[in-house]
Structure 1
Amino acid sequence: MDSTDYLGLSKIKILKNVREAVPEKLKKSINLLAVKYGVLFTWDFANNCVLTLNIKAARSNDGDNVTHQNLFPVLPVMFQPELLLVNDTGTLLLVAGPSGIIVMELPAMHLLYGADSRDVVFCRTHTLDERLLICSDVVQVRQVRFHPGSPRNTHIVALTSDNTLRLYNIENRSAVSVSKVTIGETPIGVFPGTKTSFLAAFGEVGVDFDFGQPEITKSPTNDETQELQWPVFVLRGDGSVYSVTVPLEPKAKWAVKGPLPQNTPEGNPRMEACAIICLNTNPEVVCIANSNGTILHSIVLPLDHETRELLCFESIELELGLSTTTDDNSYTCPIFLHKDESKSGRFCATHSAGVHLVTVGCVKDLQEYVNGQNEEQALDEIFNCESKAEYLVCTKTSNSEKTNPVIGFSLYYEPTSLIAILADGNLVTLGILTAEVLPQIGDLPREGVKDEATSPLKKMLREPVDVVVERLLKRSSNQPILKLGGDGKHSQKDCHELLQRASKFFRESFENHTRAREEIEKRAKVLQVMMEFQLKQIQRMNNEKHQVQAKAESLAEKYEDIKDKHDVIMKRCEKMLVLVSQKKAEPSDAEKEYLKELEQYMEKIEKYKKSIEKLKMKMNYQKIQIANWKAQEEKKVPALSETHSLTIKDNLKKTSEKIAEMVKEINEYKERLNLK
C-alpha cells in the first residue's frame, strides 16, 4: 500500500481520467470533490460532467472492475466550477463557481451504489439566478451551502459579492428564488478592469458564511408557538461577523444583527479574513481563518436575548509552505475550512500550500464544564489547553513561488480518512485517528483514597510508560508529505534546503528516541528490582498463608465443640426454667393477666345468662299471647286483612331470628369457656 494512498484509490480508472484532464492553469485552491454516503463525486474537466464512484466497492478485491458513472447536466455549464456540494439526503448536487450556480437532481442512491449499469446518466438541472450571476460582470458568488433546516433538503443559501444573502428552493422541478437580504452597504463602484469593488478592497464585503447551532425562538406571528431557527454567521473581509436569521417562508423577515462584538485585533492589514466555520460544540466555537495563515478560535456568548459576543480565546498560526532555513511568513493565500463530523473539536484547512489538520484542545473540557461534569476546574485551566495544527500535506516551499494547490478535498468516514486531489492530478488519501486513548483502570481516580505518591519512584511508576514514551517522542514540528509542483524539477538550492530540514528533523527524532530508550531501560531496571522484591514477598505470604490455614482449621474444630456445648447448656436452661415456674407459689404476671381475662369472661357469661332468661320469658309470654290471639280470632267471624297478617309474620320472623342468633352466641361462649 502506498504511504500517500491510504484507501488505494489512485489506480482506479475514474481518478486516472481526472488526473489526465486537470488543466494546467489552475493556480488557486478550489474544492471540486465531495463524498456522501460512501460515494465520491468529482468534476471531469474534459467532458464538463460529474464523475461518481462507490469507494467501498472500489476498495474491494475486484476494484478494477468497478464501473463509474458520468452525470451530465441537461443544461450546459457556462462558468468555471470551483465547488461541489451534496445535500444530506443525497438527492441534489450543487456545482458553483464565481459566475454561476447549477443544481443537479441526482438519481437514487442505490443506483449510485452500482445498481444502475449505465455509464452515462443525464440529470435534471436547475440554474440559480442565471441572468444575474452569469451575465453580470460585477456580482460574483462567494459561498453556497444547503440550509440544514430545510424539510426536504432543497433550500440553498448563497452569498454574493454585492453583500447579499439569497435563499433558493428546488420545488416542483424548478428553482425558485424565495427571498434575499442585504448585509451592510451595497458595493457601487469597481476598480477599472477588475471585478473587485471598492468596498471589497477595504474588507467590507462578505466572503464566507456558515450555519450555527439551531435555536428555539418565539414565532413572530404567534407568541404562544415556538419555531426552530438556524442562525447564519456571515464573515466579512475585515474580520467582522454578522448574525443573520434565514427564515424559509417567502414573506418572512430576515433578522440581521451585527457586527458582533469581538476582542480580536483590528486594523491589521495582514488580517484578511477568508473563511469561517461553526463547530458542532456546546457552547458554539467559531473558527475564523485569515489569508496569512492565522486561525482565530472564538466562543459565541449571549449578551442578552438578542445580541451575542465573540470571545476569542486562542490564535494559531498555520505554516503556509514548508520553511527550510529562514522563517518567511510573507506568503498569503485563501484558506478553506472543513468540519470533521467524526470529532466535534477538529477541522481541516486546505489552501494552495497543502492541508492542515487542526484540533481545538479545550473543546472536551469546555463541554464537560458547561454540562456540569467538571465544575471545579477553572476556566483559565480549560483555555490553557493549547490546540494542535498538524501539517499533513505540503505542496509548496516557503522560498519558492511554485504551488500545487488543492483542487478537491473531502473526508471519508469508513474508516475516517481524508481524500485530496492536487492541481497536478495526484491523489492523496491519509488515515486520521479518531478514537481517543482510554485511561487505564489504575489511573482512574478512586473515591476516599488520597494521593500518597510522594516518592520519585511512585511518581515515575504512576505515569504509564506508553504516555511517557509518547511525550518523549512528540515532535516539536511535524514533517508533512511533500507533493510539490513543477514535475519534480527543483533547483539545487531548494533540494539542499529540504535536505537540511530533513536532516535536522531526523536528528531531533534520533535524540528523542535515545531519551525514550533510556527511559525504558531505567523503568526496566526498576521493574526488575520490584519484581524480585515482590517474588520474595509472595514467598513470605505463601508461608504465612499456610500458617493461617492451619490456625483456621484448629479454630474451626474448637468452634464446632463450643457450639455443641452451647446447645447442651441451652437445653438444660430451658428445663430449669420450666421447673422453677412450676414450683413457684405465686402466679406469674402472665398467669395473673390470664385469670383476669377469665373473670371478665365469667361476668359476661352471667350477663348473657340473665339476658337469655329474659328472652325465654318474653318468648313464653309471646306464645301465650299468640295462643290467646288465635283463640279470639277463631271466635271472630271476619278474618284479618292481608296487610295485618304479613306484618305479624314479619315481626315473628325477626324475633325468632334474633333469638336464634343469641342462642348461637351463647353456645359459642360456652365452647370457648368449656362450660357444659
Structure 2
Amino acid sequence: MSELTDCFELNKTQFFEKIRDGLPIVQNTQNLLDCSDDLLFAWDGNESSLLVRNWRAPLMEAEQRAKVNYQTLISSIPIIQDIDRVTVSNECSLVALSGPRGVFILELPRRWGPDGYFKDGKDKVTCRTYCLDSLLFQNNHLEVRQVRWHPNSVSDSTLLVLLNNNTIRVYNHSKLRHVWQVGPLTMIKGAKTSHTDFGEVAVDFDIAPATKPRSADLTAANESTLNQSNKTLGGKTAKQEKIEWPIVVLRENGNIYILLTRLDSDMTRLQGPITITPQRMDNYGLESCSIMIIPSLPPTLVIAESTGKLHHALLMDAEAAEHSFNEVDDFILIEPSEYVIHVLETVELELGLSGASNSGPKDAYNCPIHLKRDIINELRYFAYHNAGLHVVTVSFISELQRYLDSESDEDRLELAASSRAEYVLCTKFDSSERINAVCGISLLQLPAGMVLLLASGQVISLKLVIDAQLLVAPNEKKQRASDVDEQESGPSFLDKIKGLLQRNVNQPILANKLSSASPHESYELLNQAIEVLREQYLKRHDLVRAEFAKHINQILLKKEQQLREIQDLEHEREIISEGAHKLAERFEEISDNQELLVRKCHSLMQKANTALPNSVVAEREFSQEVSRINKVTKGMAADLEAAKKMLNKQRYHIDKSQDELKSNVFQLPEKQHRTITEILTQLNLEIERQITDAKRINKIVGV
C-alpha cells in the first residue's frame, strides 16, 4: 500500500493483521471500526473479541511510543452471533456490539498508566458483557436495523435499538426501559405480514436536536400531573423545563415519521408521514436505506437511496398541524404533523467506475448507502457503500449560519450554492459481481484523519483537510464589508477561477482487489481515467490559463491608464502648489497691512477721545493721577534696582572679608597636633589620678 493512501502507517500493523483473519466471508457494507479520542476499536470476528489500539502511537517519537501494540478485550459471555457494527458510547464507557440477530453491550474498564491503556496495558482484559433480549431474538424472526446512543443520557448508558418490527427498544445497560412503536407491527411470532410488501418497515432513524413540547393538551396534562404530585409532597413546587427529543424515522418507501418523546417517559407522540415539498411525480426515496441529521438551524436531513441519490432537506416547523391521509393504521395513533420537510437539492453518487460499453442505465449498480457525520466539519459527511467512499460537502449550511449570525434586517437568505460530492475511494471498477465493500470506517482527531477497512483486508488511512474558516469565526465587520463589496462590484476573479476549476467528476483512489482484473477491463479503466483527466482536469486548466491571460491584459491596460492619470495629477498638483505659494505671500502682505491699519485706528481713537470738548473733570483728574502714579512707579523701580545693586556689592565685600579671615587662621601641622593631643591626654589622666589619691588620703585622715 502506498504511503499516499496510508498516511498513518496502519496497514502493516499487527492490529490490522489480526483483524484480516476474522473478516466475514460474505461481503457487504458494515462498520467494524470506531474511534474515541486516541483509542481505535475494531471487532475481531475470528476470536469474537474487541481489539483496541492507541492510533497516535506511531506518530510519537521512538522513545515515547507505547510498549503495547494493541489490547484484546474479551467478552465475559460467549458471542456467537455475527457482529457487523461497533458503536462506542459518547463518553467511551460502553461499546455496543450489534449484528442482525442480537445486540451486546461491553463495559470498558478504567484507563491508567503513562500510555492511557486499559488496566495499565494488559494484553488481554476480560470485560463485563450484557446480551440484550436474547430470548426475544431466539423466539422471533427479528433483525436489528440501527443502533444509536442517546445524547441526553446522564450515565452514558442509554441505547436505542431499531428492529424490523417497527419498534425502538430503549435500554439502560442491560435493562429494558421503554418500547416505542414507530409503525405497524410487521412480524408476529415469526410470521411475516403483508405490511412488508408496501415498504412500511423502518430502515433507519436518527435523533434530532431537543425541542420544547408544542402540544397544548400534553403541556396541560403534564402541568396537572405535576401539580398533583406536588400537593402530595407537601405543596412544594419544583419546576423543571421539559424537553422532547424528536426521533426521525425513515421507512423503506421513503416516508418519514417523527417520534416525539422524553427519555424518562413511556408516552410518545408519532407524527407522519411528514409532508415533503416540493412534490414530485416519482416521489422521494422509493428505495430509501438510511437517514442522517446534521444539527444545523433548522436541522438538515440527508436521505439516502440505494440507487445513489442523496436528498438534502430542511426539517422545519409547519405553519399549522395537518393530518395525513396517506396511511391508516388501527394499531397505532398518529397525531397531526407539526413539521414539514423541504428538499433543497438532490445529489447523485457514482457507484463504481464502469467502462464505455457498460455505461448504460440498465447496468447501473445499486447498493445500500451508509451515512456518517464528520465530527470536525459540520458541513461535511461521508457516504460509504460496497463501491467505496464519497465525501459530500453541504454548502447551504454555511449560508444558513451566516444568515442567523447577521444583524442586518436587509440581509437576504439565498440557498443557491449546490453541494459537492467527491469520489474519494473506488473499490468497484468493472462490471462483474465482485465487490470490495467497506467493512469499517472511523474518523480520527488531532490530527484529523480517516481510517477505512476494506473487505479485502486493505487499510486506507487519509488525512482530512480542515477549512480554517469553519473552526475560527471570521470577523463580522470584515464579512459584511466583503459581502457589500461583492454586491457592488460583482463576483471576484478568485470566485471565477474556483468556478472554472470546480469539476463534476474526480478521479478516486482505486483500491486493489482480491483478484486481478482482465486486460480488457484494465484497458477500459485506463481509458476512462485518461478521459476524466482530459475533460475534468487538463481542459479546465487550459480555461484557467486563458482566463489568467485575459485578466493580465486587463490589469496591464488599467495600469497604463492609471500611469497616465498619475502624470496628469502630478501636473495639476504643481499648478496648485504654485498658486498656493502666491496666495500665501499675498495673505502675509495683507495681514501686515491690516495690523498697521489697526494700530493707526487705535491711536486715532485715543487722540479723538482725549480731544473731545465734553470731557469731564473726573476723567481728566483720573488721567493725571494715572500719569503721576506711572512716574512714581518708574522712580521706585529705579531706586529698587539701585538698592539691589548696593546689596549685592555689600554681600560681595562681606564674603571676601570672611574668606580672608579664614585664610589668616594659624593651623599646626598634623604631627604636632597629634603630639600635643597625646600630651594633654596624659596630663588629664595624671590629674584625675592625683585627685583620686587626694580623696583617698582625706578619707583616711578623716578630714
* Most deviating of 23-32 and 574-583: 574-583
Distance in 1 (CA, whole Å) between partners of 2:429 and 2:205 is 30
1:659 counterpart residue number = none
Q: What residue number does 1:234 align with?
A: 249
Q: Distance in 2 between matches of 1:566 and 1:66?
A: 97
Out of 83, 104, 107, the position equivalent to 1:105 is 107
Residue 121 (structure 1) aligns with: 125
State the alpha-carbon separation in 1 of the partners of residues 91 and 595 from structure 2.
81
Distance 1:269 1:400 in 2: 29
The separation in 2 between residues aligned to 1:161 and 1:583, in whole angstroms, is 124
Post-superposition CA distance 1:611-631 (Å, at most 9, x none):
xxxxxxxxxxxxxxxxxxxxx
Partner of 1:211: 207
Q: Closer, same or farther in 2 for the Cα pair 1:272/1:66, shift >3 Å?
A: farther
- Report the Cα distance in structure 1 between the residues aligned to 2:485 and 2:197, rounded to whole angstroms: 63
Determine the structure 2 residue equivalent to 1:463.
492
Q: 1:436 to 1:448 in 2, by over 3 A?
A: closer
In 2, are the aligned partners of 1:260 and 1:310 still within 8 Å (CA)? yes
* Cα separation, partners in 2 of 1:563 and 1:16, compared to 1, 3 Å: farther
Q: Check if 1:147 corresponds to 2:155.
A: no
Matched with 1:2 is: 3
Q: How far off is 1:442 after superposition? A: 11
Structure-1 residue corresponding to 2:36: 36
- Judging changes above 3 Å, is the alpha-carbon distance between structure 1 residues 94 and 535 closer, same or farther for their aligned structure 2 residues? same
Partner of 1:107, secondary structure, is: coil
Q: Distance in 1 between matches of 2:135 and 2:588?
A: 104
1:255 counterpart residue number: 269
What is the identity, as a one-letter code, of the residue corresponding to 2:88?
V
1:183 Cα deviation after fit: 2.1
Superposition map of 1:282-361 within 5 A: 282-303=297-318, 304=320, 307-325=338-356, 326-328=359-361, 330-361=364-395
TM superposition score normalised by structure 2: 0.71
- Distance (whole Å) between structure 1 residues aligned to residue 210 and residue 273 of structure 2: 20
Measure, in 2, the Cα distance between the counterparts of 1:112 and 1:254: 47
Q: 1:480 aligns with which of 481, 503, 508?
A: 508
Q: Tell me, yes or no, if the aligned pair for 1:24 and 1:424 is still in contact at 8 Å.
A: no
Counterpart of 2:86 (choices 73, 84, 87) is: 84
Counterpart secondary structure, 2:547? helix
Name the SS for the 2:242 alignment partner.
Answer: strand
Counterparts of 1:2 and 1:158, CA distance in 2? 39
163, 168, 181: which is aligned to 2:166?
Answer: 163
RMSD across aligned positions (CA):
3.8
Could you give the per-residue CA deviations for residues 241-277 of structure 1, whole angstroms, max 9, x where no partner exists? 121123222x531222222223465887982211011
Q: Conserved in 1, the CA contact under 8 Å of 2:32 and 2:439?
A: yes
In structure 1, list runs of 5 or more residues that go unmatched. Answer: 454-458, 587-676
Which residue does 1:405 correspond to in 2? Answer: 437
Q: Which amino acid aligns with 2:376?
A: S
Is 2:127 aligned against 1:131?
no
- Taking the aligned partners of 2:347 and 2:35, their CA distance within structure 1 comes to 28
| Cα distance in 1 between the residues matched to 2:10 and 2:597 | 90
Alpha-carbon deviation of 1:32? Answer: 1.1
Provide the residue aligned with 2:625 in structure 1: none
Aligned residue for 1:180?
179
Q: Distance in 1 between matches of 2:250 and 2:567?
A: 72
| Matches of 1:5 and 1:448, distance apart in 2 | 44
AA matched with 1:287: V
| Contact 2:66/2:115 (<8 A) preserved | no
CA spacing shift, 1:278–1:550, aligned 2, 3 Å = same
Residue 484 of structure 1 and its aligned partner are, at CA, apart by 4.6
How many equivalent residue pairs? 565
| Whole-angstrom distance in 1 between the partners of 2:497 and 2:343 | 34
Work out whether residues 140 and 190 of structure 2, in 8 Å CA contact, stay in contact via their aligned partners in 1: no
Counterpart Cα distance in 2 of 1:570 and 1:448: 57
Sequence identity of aligned pairs in percent? 28
Shift of 1:355: 0.8
The residue number in structure 1 matching 2:17 is 16
CA contact (8 A) 1:403 1:484 kept: no
Q: Which residue of 2 aligns with 1:506?
A: 533
The residue type equivalent to 1:463 in the other structure is S
Contact preservation (8 Å) 1:167, 1:179: yes
Instruction: Mark the CA change 1:271 to 1:330 in structure 2 (over 3 Å): closer, same or farther.
Output: farther
CA contact (8 A) 2:183 2:202 kept: no
Residues 112-132 of structure 1, C-alpha deviations (whole Å, 9 max, x = no match):
953633333332222222222
Counterpart-to-counterpart distance in 1, 2:66 and 2:253: 51
Secondary structure of 1:239's partner?
Answer: coil
Give the corresponding residue for 1:434: 466
Amino acid at match of 2:210: P
Alpha-carbon distance, 1:541 to partner: 4.6
Distance 1:271 1:431 in 2: 35
Separation (CA, whole Å) in 2 of partners of 1:38 and 1:256: 39
8 Å Cα contact 2:141-2:187 kept in structure 1: no
Please, what TM-score do these two structures have when normalized by structure 1?
Answer: 0.74
Q: Indicate conservation of the 8 Å contact 2:57/2:66, yes or no.
A: no
Q: What corresponds to 1:519 in structure 2?
A: 547
